[in-house]
Amino acid sequence: MADDLTFSTIAQLADRLAARDISARELTQATIDHTSAVENKVKAFNSLNPEDALAQADASDARRAVGQALGPLDGVPISLKDVIAVKDQPLTAGSKMLENYVSPYDATVASKLKQDGAVLWGRTNLDEFAMGSSTENSAFATTRNPYDLERVPGGSSGGSAAALAAGQSIATLGSDTGGSIRQPAAFCNVVGLKPTYGLVSRFGLAAFASSLDQIGPFARTVEDAAIMLGAIAGHDPRDSTSYKTDIPGYRAALAEKKGPWKLGIPKEYFGDGLDPEVGAAIETAIAFYRDQGCEVREVSLPHTEHCLSVYYIIATAEASSNLARYDGVRYTHRSADAKDVLDVYYKSREEGFGPEVKRRVILGTYVLSSGYYDAYYLRAQKVRTLIRQDFLNAYESVDAILTPTSPTPAFKAGEKADPLSMYLSDIYTIGVNLAGLPGISVPAGFSSAGLPIGLQLIGQPYQEADLLAIAHAYDSAHDWSAQRPSL
C-alpha cells in the first residue's frame, strides 16, 4: 500500500486527495515510512523532520475538510535540494562551511509551494555548493543510484533525483547550472526540467554561478513537471534577473499543443564519446517522433566544441565571487585554531570547503585576476554569445532540438577520479545553460545492464509550454517512467 502511494504521480494523488480516498497524513506517513526503509541504502537526504511534515499534512487535511483545498499540490510531499532556503530548516549546500546554518527565511520557490499547500519534506543531498556531476563531492555522504547502489545518481542534484526514483518523495526541486537537473534525471529514470533563465526566481538559492543557475523540478512524468513548473514560475522583484512574462497553463498546454513539430538533431552531439546503447535509445526516440509526423532534420551548433572551456571559465569566475562571502566571520564555519583576523579567513575556508570547491574557486580567481581577465573571462563571454546565437539560428528552422542527455549511463562511484573526465559528463547539457534556454530530460529506456537512459529536448526561450508538450508526446506513449528500482 505504501509503495503504491509513494510511487504515484502528483496527478494521481491529487485526484485521490480530492476524492478523500486518502488523506495528506496517510500519504505523508507512507512517504516517511518508505524513506525510513530505504534511506540507509540510498542516502538521498541531508536532514529530515517527520514531525514537521506530518504537521503540514494535518494542516492540508484541515483545509480539505472545510472545502479550502489549494490545488493539486495540496498535501503532496515535495523535497528540496539542500541549497534552496526553507525557513527554520537547515541549509548546508552539502558543505561543512554551512553545516550548522538554519535558514531564517523562505526562498521564493519554497514560499510558492507553501502557498499551494505542498508538504515540504526533507533536504536532499548534493555536490558541495552544486559543484559536481555525481554527488560524490558532498561533505556528508555519497548518494547512491537506486537502480544500482554501486553507481552515482548524477549531480549536482543527485539527492533530489535519487529520492524521487526511490519513492522517498513525490516530486523534488533541484538547481541546474550546467546540467545538474537533467543529468541526474537521466541517470535515475525520472523527468528533470531546467527552465529558461529568469523564468523561476533564484531568490533564496545559495549561489554557485549566478548567470547560469536555475531552479527546476524533478517529477515522475512530464505532466507532473508541468504542474510543478506552474507552481514555481513567475516574476519576482527580489531577483534582479527574474523575467516578466505571462505564465501559461503548462498542464493544460499538454493537451492543447499536438504538433507535429520540427525537431533538430545537432550533428556535433553524435560523435566520439557517445555510448552505443545511449545512441541507439536516442535513435529509437527520433524514429518515434518521425512516426508521429514530425519533421526531423540535422542542424549544426558549430561552437559546441568550446562549451566546456567557456563554462569552466565563466562558472568558476562567478563561483569565486559568490563564495567570497563564506569568510568564517558571520554565519559560516569558523576555525577553532584561528589566532588573528587573517587566520579566521584562511583557516575557516581551508577547513570548510572541499577539494572540488577549492579547485573551482582557485581557477575562477585566476581567470578574473589582473592580466588574465581579458584573455580568459572576457573572451569566454564573447564565445558564450556565439554559442547562444548557434541555438537561435537553429530555431529559425526547428521548434526544438533533440539530443542525448548524457553520453553514458550512470558510472560507478569513484570511477571518474580525473576532474576532466567528470566534467565531460555534462557535455550535452552545458550549452543550454550558457544560452539561457529551457531543457528537459525524459526517461528513454535502459541499457543492457539495467541502467536508465535519458532523452534531452531543448526548447526556445520562454516556450516551456511547447517544450513540455513535445516531451509529453514521447513520455505519455512509453512506460519508462513507471519502472521502479528494486531496493
Looking at residue 212, the DSSP 8-state letter turns out to be T
Select which of 95, 134, 156, 201 is catalytic: 156
The rounded distance, in Å, linking the Cα atoms of 253 and 248 is 8
The dihedral sign for the CA sequence 312, 317, 320, 321 = negative
For helices 24-42 and 50-65, the axis angle rounded to 10 degrees is: 160
Give which of 264, 215, 260, 220 is closest to 460, Cα–Cα: 264
The rounded distance, in Å, linking the Cα atoms of 440 and 426 is 14
Give which of 179, 401, 363 is closest to 270, Cα–Cα: 401
The rounded distance, in Å, linking the Cα atoms of 360 and 377 is 14
Pair 271, 447: CB distance under 8 Å:
no
Select which of 8, 23, 79, 81 is catalytic: 81
206: phi then psi, degrees, rounded to nearest 5: -65, 120
Amino acid letter, 178: G
CA atoms within 13 A on the CB side of 141: 18
- The string of DSSP letters for 447-467 reads -TTS-EEEEEEE--TT-HHHH
Select which of 60, 180, 425, 441 is catalytic: 180
* DSSP run (H or E) holding 143: none
Looking at residue 141, the DSSP 8-state letter turns out to be -
The rounded distance, in Å, linking the Cα atoms of 13 and 8 is 7
* DSSP run (H or E) holding 79: strand 77-81
Rounded to an integer, what is the distance from CA 203 to the centroid of its chain? 16
For helices 24-42 and 158-165, the axis angle rounded to 10 degrees is: 120
The rounded distance, in Å, linking the Cα atoms of 452 and 433 is 23
Strand 295-299 versus strand 215-219 pairing type: unpaired
The rounded distance, in Å, linking the Cα atoms of 72 and 51 is 23
Annotated catalytic, 348?
Answer: no
**12-20 long-range contacts, Cβ below 8 Å, gap at least 24?**
13/76, 13/170, 14/71, 14/72, 14/73, 14/74, 14/76, 17/64, 17/69, 17/74, 17/75, 17/76, 18/64, 18/69, 20/64
The rounded distance, in Å, linking the Cα atoms of 57 and 75 is 5
Annotated catalytic, 81?
Answer: yes
Which residues are identified as catalytic? Answer: 81, 156, 180
